[in-house]
Amino acid sequence: MKDFEQWTKLLVDVIARATAQLPEDVTRAIRQGRTHEAEGSLAAMALDAVLKNAELACTDKAPMCQDTGVPIFWIHHPVGVSTGMLSKACAEAVRQATAQNLLRENAVDTLTGKNTGNGYAPSIPSVHCEEWDRPETKVQLLLKGGGCENTSAQYSLPDTKLGADRNLEGARRVVLDAVFQAQGKGCGPGILGVCLGGDRGTGYLEAKYQLLRHLDDHNPTPELDAMETRILDEANQLGIGPMGFGGKTTLLGVKIGTLGRVPASYFVSIAYLCWAARRAGAVVAANGDVTWLS
Amino acid sequence: MAQLNLPCDETTIRALRVGEPALLSGRIITGRDTAHHWLVGAYREEVAPYLQGSIIYHCGPVVRKNADGTYDFVAAGPTTSAREEPYQADVIGRYGVRGVIGKGGMFDKTRKGLVQHGAVYLHAVGGTAQSLARAVVRVERVFKLEEFGVPEAMWVIEVKDFPTVVTMDANGGSLHETIAEGSKAVLQKLLGLTSKAG
């Protein structure tokens, strides 16, 4: 079992990886998108810039984007691991990573408007611990930038204007509307995490959790898998393109999960993630051995 | 590809067109939410000379303070410009700013301001904070660091060949509006909606 200092050190390493290393599946999807854009177009120029930047960040172990966002940790742990200790270790890791310029001084007191200067404020980082019946601990981190967070959206169905009923077709309609509304503001090509159901709080959290999935995975639920493929294809017909410059690469992926809902509510929560999909993680075995997640 | 040396005059700016890549060199200043609010609150004489004829960069950088008291930009990509929409045209007019660098584009009030005052909106590629930090060759000085914090402070920087694209020009053109209109038509087709209902 690792102690507080060991956990903190590991979590700083997770942050260092997330901020500087674009996941391989994301890099592949951007390269794939690049092949669809016309030579000399603004879309091609933007994707080339993104790929070059990813290389520089990786080589220098430096933040690929200056908005290092809200660090969101999901931790699955065995019985007996203290969630209080893990939460404190996450906060301390964010403080240390901020001091090392791996993260920007990115936490502001909402009432006073003062930057706390150390990366920490209530709910920053955001930590979600869940016990599971396995011996190892899994840590997953998403650095969710503010620009893309501002373009995220939540719809309450039915939506008359969009002709969206309380079913998968209604969900498809509002998700496409969200992509249209986002235009280039969320630093596209973006990745959508979507949650059908839940309440306004759990819906968004599940939508963000979906963003931890690899772009090339498949949804185990066939109708959701088909919907992910369809929305990705349709969104890329909108012509918004990288950065909203126009082009064929508007989204890199769509990942959809579901939660239960009460009869009165049908929320569709859409978490927009920028191309700088800063996701990292590690599995810590009972004996302390660390395996990095891709 | 336009080469823009800053500060510059109105004629140079009015010649730029939407869709044209532009490489910036010279002195610019960062400013985002808190700074814009502050700039419209009163005429700020101390920063006015740095704004005149230059460009405001919507950026909240990661900054390293060196042992000798100087600063370096560690990561410095653009932030979303839409948040400055209420203030931008006024700031441009009042301080004689020739343009802004940001991402995501801006709206009608700013567009009118660009036309009226002879200024442009320059789009940098969002998220490319490492490439863009390398185009910042020197941090000259900083305003309001203590009060606003690192991301919101106004950093006076010298850039060299800083890559941007003109997406809103001084003649009323806006790439963002063109793309929004085109994508709206596709969306309505995909959803089987008429333009009135959309």
Q: pLDDT higher for B195 or B3?
A: B3
Q: What pLDDT score was predicted for residue B197?
A: 44
**Cα–Cα distance measured from residue B159 to residue B61, given in angstroms and rounded to the nearest whole number:** 14
Rg (CA), chain A: 19
Identify whether B112 is part of a domain.
yes
Strands (E), A145-215: 153-156, 190-196
Q: How many domains does chain B contain in total?
A: 1
Give the model's pLDDT for residue B198: 42
Of A115, A183, A187, the CB nearest to B126: A187
Name all domains of chain A by residue range, CATH numbers in brackets: 4-22+64-145+278-293 (3.30.1330), 147-273 (no CATH)
pLDDT digits (tens, 9 = 90+) for B73-110: 999 999 999 999 999 999 999 999 999 999 999 999 99
Q: Is residue B182 part of a domain?
A: no
Q: What is the CATH number of the domain that holds B136?
A: 3.20.130.10
In this complex, which of A62, A105, A177 lies closest to B130 when CB atoms are compared? A62
B175 lies within 8 A of chain A by CB: yes
Cβ–Cβ contact B163 with A under 8 A: yes
Does A2 score more than 90 pLDDT? Answer: no
In a domain, B190, yes or no: no
Indicate if B58 belongs to the active site: no
Flag whether B38 is in a domain. Answer: yes
Q: In this predicted model, what pLDDT tens digit does every residue of A46-67 receive, in sequence order?
A: 999 999 999 999 999 999 999 9
Task: Report yes or no on B198 lying in a domain.
Answer: no
Query: What SS3 class is residue B77?
Result: coil
Is the CB of residue B42 less than 8 Å away from at least one CB of chain A?
A: no
The 10 Å CB-count burial string (b at 16+, else e) for A14-25 is bbbbbbbbbbeb
Each residue's pLDDT tens digit, B26-53: 999 999 999 999 999 999 999 999 999 9
Q: Do B62 and A187 touch (CB under 8 A)?
A: no
Length of chain B in terms of residues written: 198
Determine, yes or no, domain membership for B68: yes
Q: What is the pLDDT of residue B194?
A: 76
| C-alpha span between A241 and A249 (Å, rounded) | 5
Res A120 pLDDT > 60: yes
Q: Are B102 and B55 in contact (CB under 8 A)?
A: no
Residue B98, number of CB atoms within 10 A of its CB = 27
Specify if B185 maps to a domain.
no
B143 forms bridges with which residues in the sheet?
Answer: B154
A:B CB pairs within 8 Å = 169
Q: Which of B151, B165, B123, B119 is nearest to B13 (CA)?
A: B119
Residue A253 has pLDDT above 70, yes or no: yes
Cβ neighbours of residue A123 closer than 8 Å, sequence gap 6 or more: A70
pLDDT (0 to 100) of residue B195: 59
| Rounded Cα gap, residues B187 and A227, in angstroms | 16
Give pTM, 2 decimals: 0.95
Chain A, residues 138-157, CB within 8 A of chain B, namely 145-147, 150
Q: CA-to-CA distance for A280 and A72, rounded, in angstroms?
A: 11
B105–A185 CB contact, under 8 Å:
yes
Q: Are A100 and A118 in contact (CB under 8 A)?
A: no
A221 has pLDDT over 90: yes
Interface list for A 234-273 with B (CB within 8 A): 234, 237-246
Query: What number is the ipTM of this complex?
Result: 0.94
Q: How large is the average pLDDT for residues A184-204?
A: 97
Would B191 be classed as within a structural domain? no
Q: In the predicted model, is pLDDT for residue A1 greater than 80?
A: no
A46 to chain B, any CB pair closer than 8 A? The answer is yes
Average pLDDT over residues A70-98: 97
Range of the domain at B14: 2-173
Report CB contact under 8 Å: B150, A104. yes
Chain B residue numbers touching A176 (CB-CB < 8 A) = 187, 190-191
